[in-house]
Structure formats: structure tokens, C-alpha cells
Structure 1
Amino acid sequence: MFKIKLKYRYRISAAAFALLAMPGCSVQNRGQKEISRRLERFEELTGHHAGFALYDSGKQKMVAAHQADKYFTPASNMKLLTMYAALKLLPDSLPALRYQERGDSLIFWGTGDPSFLHNRLEGTKAASFLVNSGRQLFFVPGRYTGAFYGRGWQWDDYNDDYQAEINEFPVMGNVLSISEREGKLQTLPRLFQAYLAADSSDRDTSFHITRAFTQNSFTYPPLSIPPNYTQQLPYKLSHTLTLALLSDTLKKRVATLSRTLPSDAKTLYSTPTKLAIKEMMLPSDNFIAEQLLLVCADRLGDTLSGEKTIKTVLSRYLSDLPDKPVWVDGSGLTRYNLITPRSLIEVLKRIRLEFKEDKALYDLLPAGGNRGTLKAAYPATDKPFVFGKTGSFSNNYNQAGYIVTKKGNTYLFAFMNNNFVKPTAQIRAAVADVVTYVYENM
């Protein structure tokens, strides 16, 4: 029998569980009261905003709810909505670029596709197409006119790999990869090698690389380079840099034009859409999430706008949620996002309807004790029972997803915790305990 062993576990007595199973008593009321008691008695879950919703997919009813109608900051739980948008709006493969062939010229426009030369997204098809076209290449910028950051993003995270900038034609994930080779630092893309140097005025005692806030100047303290050192950090975007990166990586001159996207432009497709979703969900990749909203917008018209995608999905597919979410970005990096646990349950229900079988859905998600951001949240196992998405930043920790119980029942859950000051590990352990209780007893 799989049992979770946590310091903070609160055990329900056999008599209490037998009472829950008594005929004639409302399952919903019993479940709600039981979950409420557990939440109230967990020391870890007092003193902050906590909400929980549990939905029995077999009976098609909510069986437990604790502040499920209250709004919470979801963090990366918002990627569930981005996943749903991609499933509803995108074809089997991502549109990599739009193009038009005119004489000896190939004119192309970006779609926001995150996969171009991305090491996890098998993004070589578009590059091969451009290299082997035999034509002069012309890139037309301007489909995306939004900001390089989402609304409410933290400016002081600009040097961290999880906050790459947004644009219409990403190259290598819009991050610079730096690694130690034979005592020297090497960059990928190679174009940035000339912009990397030691800073003699840097007095830090630990080795790290920092980009200047407004430009692509990368410096490190005058220390020995640690063996096998690696670091990824976002580079500063511009149309000029995109042209330079394309020319450098394709080994072929790329010029620019100013031209409206024609209605008869062809589309080149690249990475399987579900692979992109998986690579977004498992490591909680913010860059892929934001870019997928732009790729969705490519299917809706000429302009690339995450806001346009959000408005379309909310009005076309999610207009009847129990509580209308405040949906601002694709990744959950902003604290402006707000959603209730019961609305997250409804999103989970609709995601599930997009798959013929649950296994195909679960393969795209982190799994408790097994892979992705849920791997460390539950004891290691090769037979996970919880599949879903975490959402966390300072003072916030959430989980939402699917529980397959010992009895073979499937439950959907959303457990949201905001504004706590205790260690996140305590909150995470308490969440795992409640989810495991559902797995073992329901």
C-alpha cells in the first residue's frame, strides 16, 4: 500500500471515515465538512488565504469545497488556461512561419513559434526550410507590437532564465546559454561571444554572469571559471538583433522588408503542438507559455497579441465559468491574474474533454513523485496517482489537476494557498497530505 510519510500529516480516524461512508448522508456535505476540518486543523494552513475544490468526475459533482468561490493568485496554475487555449485554437503542429515566394525572394513573417532552434522542441524544420530555399531571405517584422514583458512582471528578474522576453520570432528560446569549455566560456548563440567579458570592478566572491539591464553586455567577476559551469540568461530583444541572429545561425544573409501580411501567405508547420504543451507544463516553462498565446493569435488574424487570444478564449470557450477569471498573461508570472478554485475545476474538466483517453492527457502533465514540477512534491514512485500543475512564487503555492484513486475513481482538484509567511515546504507537505488522503480513501 502506498502511503505518504510527512511530518505534518493529520490522520482521520477509521470511525470518522466510516461516518463519511454511511448511507443517507449527503456525500457533498460530508466531503466538504471533512475537508474543511482538515484544513482548519492543519497548523500549516492557518493564517493565510486557502481554498480547495474537489470534483468527482464519476458522479459529476463537487464533493468538497472550502472557499472555492474566492479569488486567488494562481501563479503557474494559469498555464492550464494557456494549455486549453492551445488545444482549442492550434492545429496538430505549430505554425512556424508565414511566407510568400516572389521570384528569387522568400519573404517571411513570424508567428511567435517558440520552437525555432529550441533544444527541447525539435525546432529545426523552419531553419532547414529557410536555409534550403535557394532564395534571398527577407524577414518582415511588426506583427507583434506588444511589450517585451507581460503586465506586472518583476523587472528585477530580468537576469533569470525563467523570464525571457516576448517577441514574434524567437531564436533559441530567447536565452543565451553559457558554458565552460577547457577553462573558457562559450556562448550559444555564438554571436554573443564578443559581448561577454570579466568585470574587474565586480567584487562578488561567487562566480555568476550578469547582463546589463538595458543592453546585451554580459559580465562576470574576475574569478576562476568553475569547471562545468553553465548558466542561461535572457538576452535583450530588438528587430536588429533578430536579423543578426537569423543571419548568424542560418549562415545566410537575412534582410528586412516592410510589408503587410498577404491573405494568400503560405504557412510552414513545425513542432507537434502537444510536444510544445508538454515542454511548457512539465518544467513550467514561462517562455513557451507566452509564445503559445502569440501562436494562437496567429490563427485569429494578422496581429500577434496574447491579449487577443485571452479575450477570444474567455468569450468563445470559457464565458460560462462559475467566476470570471482575471487572465493577464500566459505563464502566470504576473500577480494580476486571479481565479477561483471552482473555476479551475471547470477548466480541468474542459481540458479533459479534448482527449479521447486520460493517459494521453496525463502524459503531458507533471506527475506526483515521478516527473516535472510535481516530482519532488510526493514520494518517488513509478506509479503516480496525481497529475497536474503547480503554481508558486514567494508566499504562494497552488496545485490543480487530476487524482486517480486506489479504487480507480478520478477526481479533479484545485488547492490554492496565498499570502502565507511560513516555509513553502510546510504548505507543500500539507497539500500532498490532503491529496494523498483523497487517493487512499475516496
Structure 2
Amino acid sequence: MAVAAALLFALPALADNSSTVNQTGTANSAATEQAISDNAKISVTQIGNGNQVGTADEAGAVQQLAFDSSIAVSQNGDKNQAWATQGLVFDTVSKLQQTGSDNAAETVQGYSINALGEVSQNGFRNIGYTVQDLAFDTQARVLQTGSDNRGAVEQSSVETTGAAQAYRAIGEYNTVKQVGEDNLGTIEQINLVDSGAAVSQTGSLNIAKVSQSDQNLEAGNGSWGEVLQTGNENSGTVTQSGNSTVGAYVEQVGDANTGEVTQQGNSNFTIGYVYQEGGNHGAIVAQNDNVRATGYIEQVGDGFAAVVNQTGSVLVTGQILQSGADSAGYVEQTNSFDANAQILQVGSANAATLVQTDNLHAAAYGEQRGTGNRGDIKQIGTESVNATTLQNGNGNTLEANQTGVVHASISIAQGSAWARPPT
């Protein structure tokens, strides 16, 4: 990126260029290109059917070696297509806007600093892509309203993209935002530093996927990926691997949704969190070969299933909190050091299972409040372990087993008279 900056500022005085195209009608096409420009602007407006700005093989709006540049394409009609490319650009914006159905839009930015790429579509069966490569201080967005749309953000070798620090509002991230049904939203980030990614969907039968991998391990504050879904029968997934500090969050409100966080080989700090509200949800947090890993699932409603699985990690905590009835929680920790497993259930007819195998220094804590609950703790081949189980209510059952363990203890309390010990 430093080479790109040096090259730009070594050029002679740059020209101010502006290109404007307005078309009304059908079967129109437009192409415009700017190179070695300052304050460069491309504007294309098309009203009608079958319009094009370039093709999938050759972009129709192109800027190369440009400073303070912008591309704006607006299409209103059916079967419109727009492709925009910016290379070696600084302080740049590319926005493609389409209204109608069966549209396709892609904006590509490479070797860029302080860049924003955005695709906005309103209609059905649209495809929107924002691609950034070798970029610094960038942000990418795909915004779609309608059904059966496909929106994707792809970023590789990017740094400080979308204000990555955890727990920012969704507008601060690289974003795919969709309103409607049967939509697919994906974000893929590779070789990143300080990057945030968020897919937000409102509607039902939607699929959201976030993938972040190969973070620069020597720099940055970490990366954050999240999925926010409101509706029924949605699926949300965040996958993070080969990073340093990472966090993942999946939030789903509605019925019959599934949420999953998978984290592997992250070397510094890892947190995976799934929150679900409604009923009949399923959630999984899987963490393998991480350091300082926390997997947390919170579910509010009836008929939930939650699984936290942690393997080969150091300083790990697996937690499940369920409020409602007829839910099942399962935490399993294997081949880990300093492992802590916890399940808290409030309601009736719930089941809690905690399994710890071949760990060093492990603790299991189960608490159930209500009637007709079942608790199960298994600790196998572990050194320095303790198990604590509390059940408040009537008709509850409990089984605790410690096999092949060293320095072990078990504490069990059942009935309605016990008080929760201080934490």
C-alpha cells in the first residue's frame, strides 16, 4: 500500500475529470473510463428496461490512478446490470443503485485507501457483490429489499475495514443487509487486520454466512463477525479460523431458527456467542485449538437445543443459559487445560448434560430451577476436577459420574431449601 501511495503522489498534476451519462429507454448501454485523475466523478443514470453499464467480463464504469474519486450508477427498470471497477484509488466511493427485478451489480476496488463500495437493490431475484482487495481503511455494503436476492461482500488482504472493534452498531461494519424472504447474505474476509463483518436479515427462510480467516497475527485489535436475524426458519453461521483475537455473535428472534459459531486455531482471545428468542431453535458453538476461548449460548423460550463443544484449547469456558421448558443443553470439553463448563436452566422438563474428558483442571457446574428436570455430569480421565449440581423443585433427577480422575470432588443439592452459593 505504501508503494501505491508513493506512485500516485509521484505523478504530474492530475486533471479534474467528470463524466455524466443519462439514458431513458430500452436496450441502452453505457461505458466510461477515467485514469490519472483528481476529483474524478462518474455518474450514470438509466431509466427503462434492459440497460447495461458494462458486462461481467468488462466493467462499464472504470477509474484507475484516481484521488478523491466517485462512481454513481442509478438504474430504474427491469433486467439492469452494472459493473464498476476502481484500482489504485484514494478517498473513493462507488455506489450502484438498482430498482426492479433480476438485476446484477458488482463493484470492485483494488489497491485502495479510504474506500467505500456499496450496492443497493430493491426488487426480486437480484444479485449484488462488493469486492475489495489489497485495501486499507475500507468499508463495503450490500443493501437489498425484496425476496430471493443474493448479496455478498468479499475482502482479501484488507486492513482496518469497517471499524472492527467489537460490539459496534451494525452500520459501523462491512455489511450485508436484507429485508424479505428466501435471501442469501454472505461476507468472506481473508488475510485481514482489524475487520468487522455483519449480515442483517429481516424476514423468514433466509441464510446468513460470515467467514473470517488468516488474520495478521502480529497486529491489530482483532476481528468481529456477526449475524442478526428477525423472522422464522432462518439460518445464521459465523466461521473464524487462523486468527489472533476474534469475536462472533449470532442473534435470532423468531421460531425454528438455527445459529452456529465455529472457531478454530485462534491464538490470542476467542469468544463465540449465540442468542435466540422465540421457540424451537437450535444453537451450536464449536471451538477447537483456541486460546482463552469462551463459548456462550443464551436461549429464551421453549423447545430449544444448545451445544457447546470445546476441544484442545487453553483457558476455556462453556456456558449455556436457557429460560423456558422442554429444552436441552449440552457442554463437552476435551483435551483442554483449565476448563470450566456451566449450564443454568430455569423452567420445567429440561435436560442438562456436562461432559469433561482428558482435561487438566476442570470444573462443572449445573443448576436447574423448576420441576421434572434431568441433570447429568460426566468427568473422565481428568486431573484436579470438581462437580457441583443444584436442583430447585420437585421431580428432578440427577446423575454424576467421575471416572479415572485425580483430586476430585462432587457437591449435590436437591429440593427447595438450598440457596445458590456465592460466585
TM-score (norm 2): 0.23
More strand by share: 2
Structure showing the higher helix proportion among its residues:
1
